[in-house]
Structure 1
Amino acid sequence: MATATPLEVPERSKPRARGRLQLLLILLVVLGPMVLATSMYKLKFWVPDGRSYHGVMIGNGESLSDLGVAGQNERWQLLVSTPTACAEDCQRLVYLARQIQVGLGRDASRASHALAAAQPASADYQALLSREYPQLQHYPLDAQRYLQKVGEAGPQLWIVDPHGNLVLRYDAKVDGKHVLDDLRHLLKLSNIG
């Protein structure tokens, strides 16, 4: 009968140890990224400071009705809102919204532009809108509800998705190129509208 010397390793333990190592590596490759991503989200480390958009992101699921606007569209929308009558800054934003839609080129049919004002426009400006902006949609705005949500009295430019959700907000001093870049990026990533 042959006896094993202490220096000899049984033949079965080498493949078993190798199999365990392979199992651990597979689990690490599969579960490691999920654990890392969850940790990054929960503990807020390695989160990039930069962003790829220029406006204020509205990420809490607010819709047009939460803003005090009674209206719905089936396309992406550039909405100009003002809790007063449409004055100089508001008129600039209405012009800018139309120019941005035209600037979309072949994707212009996926977007529209609209004005939501709490007070009616002057007769001269209303005539100008009818003549120069025939596709501009008009919505009533509940000024009290709007001021509670926004907290600013000046006109704002909003990007609204086809479901009526608010996506981005810009103030009256916004550069139109930034809004156009943001909207192009959203249209590129979106399958709706």
Structure 2
Amino acid sequence: MAQQDSAPAAAASPRDPRIDARTRRGRLQMLMLLLVCASPVIASYFTYYVIKPRGGATNYGALVDPQRPMPPVRVTDEQGQAVPLEQFRGKWLLVSADPSACDEACAKKLFTIRQIRAGQGQDRLRIVPVWLVTDDGKIDERLAAAYNEPYAGVRFLRIDRQAAQQWLPAEPGKRAEDTLFLVDPLGNLMMRFPQDPDPKKMSGDLKKLLKVSRIG
């Protein structure tokens, strides 16, 4: 008698529903964790741009949309050390970008961001004013003495000019060097101020953001 064919392989056992439940639960927990981490900034954006505090008053600075995250580049700090730009996440950054040959308009911007930071009271510790120096030229020692002092000083960080231009969008017909920018504590470029901005109105925008968001 001919040998019978072997029995077909047993069908694969059905997936254990308990494993599927644990997988779904794990994914949900991860999503909830991400939402919790991002919720302070999300809340501040929603309150500021949708609810519009103070009876619908509009913001002075222009919202950068879509947001632009920090580029994965390294910058050179005041000690000549190359550090990741992302190292400065966690604070609100008031950013100016100019070459080392800082002219009168550049110096005025440095003065503005330093004074705005100093004028925020206890919240000043949540803010870091930054000068992104877009070349390798020598910086006037008088600028360092005036604006790079330890208290309320401006951080001088050298960055590749092309990287700065790609990250910082200029107004139509303007240059990135013509304005000031605000970066949120998650590292997203969120606001651009007009050329020769009004410091009081800039400070007002920042005060409202700091009030509705406790992050940073």
Q: What TM-score bracket applies, with the shorter chain setting the length? A: 0.5 to 0.7
1:63 corresponding residue in structure 2: 69
Distance, in Å, in 2 between the alignment partners of 1:112 and 1:92 is: 17
State yes or no: 1:144 paired with 2:150: no
Instruction: Determine the structure 2 residue equivalent to 1:124.
Output: 142
What's the counterpart of residue 23 of structure 1? none
* 2:117 and 2:124 in contact (8 A); partners too: yes
Displacement of 1:62 in angstroms is: 0.2
Range with greater deviation from structure 2 (162-171 or 148-157): 148-157
| Correspondences of 1:15-26 after superposition (within 5 Å) | none
Q: Quick one: which of 90, 111, 119 aligns to 2:106?
A: 90
The answer for unaligned runs of 5 or more in structure 1 is 1-49
1:179 pairs with 2:202: yes
Contact 1:68 1:146 in 2 (8 A): no
Aligned residues of 2:92 and 2:183 also touching (Cα < 8 A):
yes
Query: What RMSD over aligned residues (CA atoms) do the two structures have, in Å?
Result: 2.8
* 2:126 aligned residue: 110
Q: Is the 8 A contact 2:71 2:163 kept in 1?
A: no
Q: What is the aligned partner in structure 2 of residue 30 from structure 1?
A: none
Give the direction of change, closer, same or farther, for the CA distance of 1:61–1:117 in structure 2 (3 Å limit): same
Cα displacement string for residues 151-180 of structure 1 (whole angstroms, at most 9, x for unaligned residues): 515342111111111111123410001110
Q: CA deviation at 1:55?
A: 1.4
Does structure 1 retain, via aligned residues, the 8 Å contact 2:120–2:207? yes
Mapped partners of 1:153, 1:73: distance in 2: 21
TM-score by length of 2: 0.57
Q: CA deviation at 1:108?
A: 1.3
Residue correspondences, number: 144
Q: Deviations over 1:77-136 (max 9, x none)?
A: 111112563221111011111111111112111212111011342233234334486632
In structure 2, C-alpha distance between the alignment counterparts of 1:62 and 1:108, rounded to whole Å: 24
Are residues 1:78 and 2:65 paired?
Answer: no
SS in 2 for 1:181: helix
- TM-score, reference length from structure 1: 0.63
Point out the structure with max Rg over C-alpha.
1
Contact 1:56–1:170 (Cα < 8 Å) also in 2: yes
> 1:51 Cα shift?
6.1
Unaligned runs of 5+ in 2: 1-55, 76-83
What is the distance in 2 between the residues matched to 1:87 and 1:56?
25
Shift of 1:68: 9.0
Q: What is the DSSP-based 3-state SS (H/G/I as helix, E as strand, rest coil) of the residue aligned with 1:192?
A: coil
